[in-house]
Amino acid sequence: MKTTLLPRRFWSAAVLMISLVLAAMQSLHAATPDERFLKASESYAAGEFADAVYELRELVNEGNFSAGALHNLGDAEWKVGRHGQAVLAWERALSLDPFSKNTEANLRFARYQARVDAPALTWYERYSVALPGGWWSAIASAGLWGGVALLTLPRLLGWRRADWHQGMAAVLLAIFLLSGPALLGVWKRSQFGVVLEDETPLRLTPTREAETLVKLPSGEMARVERERGEYFYVRADGDRAGWVRKVDFARIWSP
């Protein structure tokens, strides 16, 4: 009796098909972001702070940003002794939800522990903190384009221009102009970063052999003015300025 062997291409196609089916089944059973957030919360409640940090970092690194996830990540980072990372997470959470009293309280406590002050803000930066940064962009766009539409559409469409058209257009354009300083403040605040490691050297030049001007505590905030290679040139309160390594410092939001 003669046995017919199946061609190699058949077996290759079969293996590929099985792999695709297994991958599809695995994706169906993969945990959703909400399930992973819940798992991280359970780990934190059980005192397994390192596991909570791992889960929450994975969520954030995958782009699942939310004020709640970042706030909880800061809590977990603080518990494992990574105070600079905790402040970074809380600052990011507060930029998304400036109304969170819990996040504000955590930042005040962290600064008290580190003996550092909150960064000095200009008037337009303080103005911009009143709402999340994305809201200011939406308000400015609505004000500008709404005002332009009310001024131009009646003429283009042959409508009779009413007094309320001009009045509403003036209000919307005023809203656009008032949101300008806030947008400037949002941009200026995007230059802030956080010192991640304790006793971080602030150097005179961007080299490892450079003179150390002062050492910065973890959790202190500073403005990034420029960068060169592996270093940021930053300015902290008290007019302390110099170079820090990028691995020891992180922007609140990357440009």
Question: pLDDT for 123-163, tens place per residue?
Answer: 999 999 888 878 999 999 999 998 888 888 777 777 776 77
Last residue of a domain, which of 60, 89, 114?
A: 114
Question: Could you tell me the CATH number of the domain that includes residue 244?
Answer: 2.30.30.40
Is 143 within 8 Å of 176 (Cβ atoms)? yes
Do 42 and 110 lie in one domain? The reply is yes
Give Cα 111 distance to the centre of its chain: 20
214 has pLDDT over 50:
yes
Do 142 and 110 lie in one domain? The reply is no
Nearest to 65 by CA among 75, 54, 77, 57: 57
Last residue of a domain, which of 189, 206, 240?
A: 189
Q: What is the C-alpha to C-alpha distance for residues 213 and 241, in angstroms, rounded to an integer?
A: 9
Is 78 within 8 Å of 89 (Cβ atoms)? no
- Please state the domain count of the chain: 3
What is the residue range of 183's domain? 124-189
165 CB burial (10 A radius; 0-12, 13-18, 19+):
middle
Do 109 and 149 lie in one domain? The reply is no
* pLDDT for the residue 169: 85
Residues in CB range of 157: below 8 A, 6 or more apart: none
21 has pLDDT over 70:
no
Last residue of a domain, which of 142, 164, 189?
A: 189
The answer to the question of residue 205 being in a domain is: yes
* pLDDT for the residue 151: 81
Q: What's the N-to-C CA distance of the chain in angstroms? A: 72
* pLDDT for the residue 199: 92
The answer to the question of residue 5 being in a domain is: no
The answer to the question of residue 86 being in a domain is: yes
177 has pLDDT over 80:
yes
Do 37 and 109 lie in one domain? The reply is yes
Do 40 and 109 lie in one domain? The reply is yes
Do 196 and 239 lie in one domain? The reply is yes
The answer to the question of residue 217 being in a domain is: yes
Q: What is the C-alpha to C-alpha distance for residues 152 and 234, in angstroms, rounded to an integer?
A: 47
Do 89 and 54 lie in one domain? The reply is yes
37 has pLDDT over 50:
yes
Do 201 and 242 lie in one domain? The reply is yes
The answer to the question of residue 174 being in a domain is: yes
Neighbours of 200 (CB within 10 A): 23
What's phi and psi for 228, nearest 5 deg? -150, 115
Q: Measured over all CA atoms, what is the biggest interatomic distance in the chain, rounded to whole angstroms? A: 98
Q: What is the C-alpha to C-alpha distance for residues 226 and 224, in angstroms, rounded to an integer?
A: 6
- From 23-27, 197-201, 209-213, 243-247, the region with the lowest mean pLDDT: 23-27
Question: Could you tell me the CATH number of the domain that includes residue 39?
Answer: 1.25.40.10
Do 169 and 202 lie in one domain? The reply is no
- From 5-14, 62-71, 205-214, the region with the lowest mean pLDDT: 5-14
Q: What is the C-alpha to C-alpha distance for residues 121 and 112, in angstroms, rounded to an integer?
A: 19
pLDDT-based confidence at residue 56 (cuts at 50, 70, 90): confident
Q: Partners of 223 in the beta sheet?
A: 192, 235
Summary mean pLDDT of the chain: 84
CA distances (Å), origin 62, targets 66, 95, 190, 196: 12, 19, 21, 21
Do 166 and 93 lie in one domain? The reply is no
Do 128 and 174 lie in one domain? The reply is yes
In tens, the pLDDT along 77-102 reads 999 999 999 999 999 999 989 999 99
**DSSP-derived secondary structure for 193-208:** EEE-STTEEEESSSST
182 has pLDDT over 50:
yes
pLDDT-based confidence at residue 245 (cuts at 50, 70, 90): very high
Give Cα 118 distance to the centre of its chain: 18
Enumerate the H helices of the chain as residue ranges: 8-29, 33-45, 49-61, 67-79, 83-96, 101-114, 123-128, 133-157, 163-189
- From 14-18, 54-58, 115-119, 250-254, the region with the lowest mean pLDDT: 14-18
The answer to the question of residue 17 being in a domain is: no
The answer to the question of residue 1 being in a domain is: no
44 has pLDDT over 90:
no
